[in-house]
Structure 1
Amino acid sequence: MKFSDLKTSGHWPTLLTAFLYFDVSFMVWTILGALGAQIGGTLGLTPEQKGLMVAVPYLSGAFIRILLGMLVDRIGAKNTGIIAQLVVIAGMTVAWLVGLHQFSHTLMLGLVLGVAGASFAVALPQAGRWYPPNMQGLVLGLAGAGNVGVVIDAILAPRLAAAYGWSSVFGFALIPLILVLLLYVFISKEAQVKVKKKTLRDYVNLLKEKDAHWFCFFYTISFGGFSGLAASLIIYFTSEFHLSPVDAGSWAAICTLVGALGRPVGGAVADRLGGIRALNVFFTIAALSLAFAAYAGSLPMCAAGFFLASGAFGMANGSVFQLLPQRFARDIGVMTGLVGCGGGLGGFMLASSLGYSKGLTGSYLAGLLGFSILCVLALVGLSLVKIRWRTTWGALAEARI
């Protein structure tokens, strides 16, 4: 398989606009994390409050993904994406013009920003439905690589905030939001495939499948690890190493870029080696790297640990979505919502636990080691399911398992 196959096997303009839509949405979804140190300083927030502030968008987005997943099947991915983008634009406009004056205001904005995070349930099915099974790992990895938006956040948001004030950053963010919305409206298309309309009963029924729980768990760790780090690293670096928000943003961008770009790489690796084998490697690296970062005594060594962990989590994201269409091909829309919900909950769990760890113990050590242990549990889970997966549905799959 070659990248040139993307032009002949599907509709690459839709893949491109799905990437851009997810990119700017992810940028906005994590904007409170990028501005967390500056907002926290202005409003006098505690470590626990900072952790909740950057985590609430993940919690909100986790459940809104299910709603958007159902809307995708009823009114189409494109219409759903347009509506979601308009809601996000409205929320950002209010935050820009009215401002955030207390902790509760940051939480209210976080709830709205969850709609941006839920774009995952729109962009991935819209792109994936255009391409055959043997290309799902690469295609969904490319569409999901829109999470590179968090890198843009880390680089630009603290600098714009330092120059113009952090409230103005919400206004600046409206520019790419509106431009991408226009491209999405005029370029993206719906795949002409028959889609069964999802209901809440469908989600409940799928949750009776034990494999659904395993996929949700694996993605809770992989996407939760990547997104939780992305939301927390600027606050972490300013707190632990006394960096300015701008310098902390540069270090955070370096750490998260590899995770953002790693998603399509992880999907392609899984296409070639098999998703189970790829996940074993990535979760092992993530567990060791988080523990290393937790105990590192210097900024470069700590950043190296986060760099490796972020990259491993990003590639694990792509590997999970290489496996998912093979197991749940007929229910990929529902499973995308369920698995995406798990990923959002994982991001909330890591970001909030880091805040509480710092507030209650004076250190981030417990939060980082706790998530490292979850990576080990994911490895245990893979060892429990691999033989059954490979000898049942995996034996009939059109891709390596």
Structure 2
Amino acid sequence: MTAPTSARRGRGRWIEHWDPEDEDFWEREGRHVARRNLVLSVLSEHIGFSVWSMFSVLALFMGPEYGIDPAGKFFLVAVASLVGAALRVPYGFAVARFGGRNWTVISAAMLLAPTTALLVVMEPGTSYTAFMAVAVLTGIGGANFASSMTNINSFYPLRLKGWALGVNAGGGNIGVAVVQLAGMLVVAVAGAAQPRLLLAAYLPLIVAATVLSARYMDNLGPVRGDTGAAREAAADRHTWIMAFLYIGTFGSFIGYSFAFGLVLQNQFDRTPLQAASLTFIGPLLGSLVRPVGGRLADRFGGARVTLGNFAAMTAAVGLIVVASVRQSLPLFIASFAVLFVLTGLGNGSTFKMIPGIFRAKALAAGMTGEAAAAHARRLSGASMALIGAIGGFGGVGINMALRQSFLASGSGTGAFAVFLGYYVACAAVTWFVYLRRALPAGAPAPAPAPAGAGAAGPSGRPGPEERPVYARV
């Protein structure tokens, strides 16, 4: 049987046939096409993350002359995080409506709006209301993640999804570290009175990403117009379970990335330049190791890696609480660096779990081969939009919790104690849902049910021996 080939029509760069699970097709042309789209997806998402996290950097430029207290700054970054998280839902589903390439072009071009608005308002004397309105606009950048991940998920075979999604997300996440490093350089070279230099540097980058996406990316016809997948994904309990876990990993990453510099300034009395010289390190480490988390999940199983990761995150936050109480800056920074690494690893492993879970469910329902793979791609892509959005809300929670903790006690200790409890809950959920009924290591997985056979036991619900095995998702 001849493997399907990619067939473009018109100038819209539509690929009508796409079967990455077919190894002949993948080696012949799929790998090249997927990699090209991955590289350009990373570029646009990277700039989107930089724009989204811009207020976490601009806060370093906002001295007393701006008239905004620490709680007000925390609220600005929380609003940006909130809007970015909320917009991830429509952005994720926009891929099926408009095409991955088409939506990347639109979403990249839209980044010009918040960047230009910041150029206008970034000066002393601007009202807090104006800053709040622009913070809403910067949320556009955070939404790019959902459409980017949904799109790239469809390009890669299951065996490579952990790596591909990790590279895509990590390359985007590193935009947080890059803009923070760029902000530090501007403060060091031109001083804290020149925030517009940072903003002006991003305008040509946005234009370049838009043009390159339009010229070289592709749309996938098989994922076009599938609105039913969104309803099915929303009705599946695993979408919401994984969203709960993703709050603990990505929500932590983006929340800490936005808040770390403010905590250093307000709890440890660091100057803007001192804080800027440290804030980029954590997001950089977390972004770089995200593909490693995906690769580990490809090899050992996402659930196992995720469980160990949450256990380690609990220990790291425990040390942060100790450092916060003792006002030990070296221990605080070292523990936070470890925590950032763990959030990156967990981001990679949790997102690898999503397509694996839906593939396991498809096999348990009697699907085989390409039918099972197509079903998993369809539902995992839709679920990623919801999971990515809810995970982004974790960033809102972290910044609001820190804001309240500083208002109540002048430090972040109380908030960090709450975060520790959440990681314990995430570890418990991972074990209970995805590992508790797993087969022993080395045991063969049960054969999928024959086509047409139901997955339900005598009670109408799957019995223990009939449930999908999730240990290696």
TM-score > 0.5, shorter chain as reference: yes
The alignment partner of 2:111 has SS state of helix
- Asked if the contact 1:56–1:111 (Cα under 8 Å) also holds between the matched residues in 2, the reply is yes
Matched residue, 2:150: 125
Alignment deviations for residues 312-348 of structure 1 (CA, whole Å, 9 cap, x no partner): 1111011111110122323123211110111110011
Matching residue's letter, 1:350: I
Confirm whether residue 136 of structure 1 aligns to residue 161 of structure 2: yes
In the alignment, structure 1 segments of 5+ residues that lack a partner are: none
Confirm whether residue 75 of structure 1 aligns to residue 79 of structure 2: no
Matched residue, 1:400: 472
The alignment partner of 2:403 has SS state of helix
Matched residue, 2:203: 174
Distance in 2, Cα, partners of 1:326 & 1:393: 14
Matching residue's letter, 2:288: L
Alignment deviations for residues 71-92 of structure 1 (CA, whole Å, 9 cap, x no partner): 2111111221222222221221
Query: How far is 1:239 from its partner?
Result: 1.8
Confirm whether residue 46 of structure 1 aligns to residue 73 of structure 2: no
- Asked if the contact 1:221–1:374 (Cα under 8 Å) also holds between the matched residues in 2, the reply is yes
- Asked if the contact 1:51–1:356 (Cα under 8 Å) also holds between the matched residues in 2, the reply is no
Matching residue's letter, 1:286: M
Confirm whether residue 9 of structure 1 aligns to residue 9 of structure 2: no
Matched residue, 2:23: none
Matched residue, 1:383: 431
Distance in 2, Cα, partners of 1:252 & 1:125: 29
- Asked if the contact 1:154–1:234 (Cα under 8 Å) also holds between the matched residues in 2, the reply is no
**Cα gap change, 1:168/1:300 in structure 2, threshold over 3 Å: closer, same or farther?**
same
Query: How far is 1:262 from its partner?
Result: 1.4
- % of aligned pairs identical? 26
Query: How far is 1:192 from its partner?
Result: 4.6
TM-score, structure 2 normalization: 0.78
Distance in 1, Cα, partners of 2:278 & 2:414: 22
Query: Which of structures 1 and 2 has the larger relative contact order (alpha carbons within 8 angstroms, sep 6+)?
Result: 1
Matching residue's letter, 2:247: T
TM-score, structure 1 normalization: 0.91
Matched residue, 2:220: 191
Alignment deviations for residues 355-384 of structure 1 (CA, whole Å, 9 cap, x no partner): 221122111101111112111110111121
Distance in 1, Cα, partners of 2:329 & 2:436: 43
In the alignment, structure 2 segments of 5+ residues that lack a partner are: 1-25, 359-375, 439-464
Task: Please give the residue correspondences for 1:233-248 in structure 2 after superposition, counting only pairs within 5 Å.
Answer: 233-248=260-275
Confirm whether residue 345 of structure 1 aligns to residue 393 of structure 2: yes
Matched residue, 2:111: 88
Alignment deviations for residues 250-303 of structure 1 (CA, whole Å, 9 cap, x no partner): 211222211111111000001111111101111111121122123213322111
Distance in 1, Cα, partners of 2:339 & 2:201: 30
**Cα gap change, 1:194/1:31 in structure 2, threshold over 3 Å: closer, same or farther?**
closer
Task: Please give the residue correspondences for 1:352-367 in structure 2 after superposition, counting only pairs within 5 Å.
Answer: 352-367=400-415
- Asked if the contact 2:146–2:385 (Cα under 8 Å) also holds between the matched residues in 1, the reply is yes
Distance in 1, Cα, partners of 2:63 & 2:83: 20
Query: Which of these two proteins has the greater Rg computed from alpha carbons?
Result: 2
- Asked if the contact 1:218–1:320 (Cα under 8 Å) also holds between the matched residues in 2, the reply is yes
Matching residue's letter, 2:425: L
Distance in 1, Cα, partners of 2:342 & 2:424: 13
Task: Please give the residue correspondences for 1:258-337 in structure 2 after superposition, counting only pairs within 5 Å.
Answer: 258-296=285-323, 297-328=327-358, 329=376, 330-337=378-385
Q: Which has the higher helix share?
A: 1
Matched residue, 1:110: 135
- Asked if the contact 1:325–1:332 (Cα under 8 Å) also holds between the matched residues in 2, the reply is yes
Matching residue's letter, 2:36: P
**Cα gap change, 1:40/1:188 in structure 2, threshold over 3 Å: closer, same or farther?**
farther
The alignment partner of 2:407 has SS state of helix
Query: How far is 1:171 from its partner?
Result: 2.1
- Asked if the contact 1:51–1:232 (Cα under 8 Å) also holds between the matched residues in 2, the reply is yes
Matched residue, 1:30: 53
Distance in 2, Cα, partners of 1:117 & 1:127: 17
User: Which residue, 86, 105, 125 being the options, matches 1:63?
Assistant: 86
Alignment deviations for residues 205-238 of structure 1 (CA, whole Å, 9 cap, x no partner): 5333221211010001100100011001111112
7-16 or 123-132, which deviates more: 7-16
- Asked if the contact 1:40–1:50 (Cα under 8 Å) also holds between the matched residues in 2, the reply is no
Query: How far is 1:183 from its partner?
Result: 2.1
**Cα gap change, 1:371/1:168 in structure 2, threshold over 3 Å: closer, same or farther?**
same
Alignment deviations for residues 171-223 of structure 1 (CA, whole Å, 9 cap, x no partner): 22223222222222222222353445226xx6455333221211010001100
- Asked if the contact 1:31–1:157 (Cα under 8 Å) also holds between the matched residues in 2, the reply is no
Matching residue's letter, 1:173: Y
Matched residue, 2:183: 157
Distance in 2, Cα, partners of 1:227 & 1:326: 25
Matched residue, 2:454: none
Query: How far is 1:6 from its partner?
Result: 12
Query: How far is 1:14 from its partner?
Result: 0.8
Distance in 2, Cα, partners of 1:245 & 1:148: 21
Distance in 2, Cα, partners of 1:358 & 1:267: 35
Distance in 1, Cα, partners of 2:221 & 2:436: 34
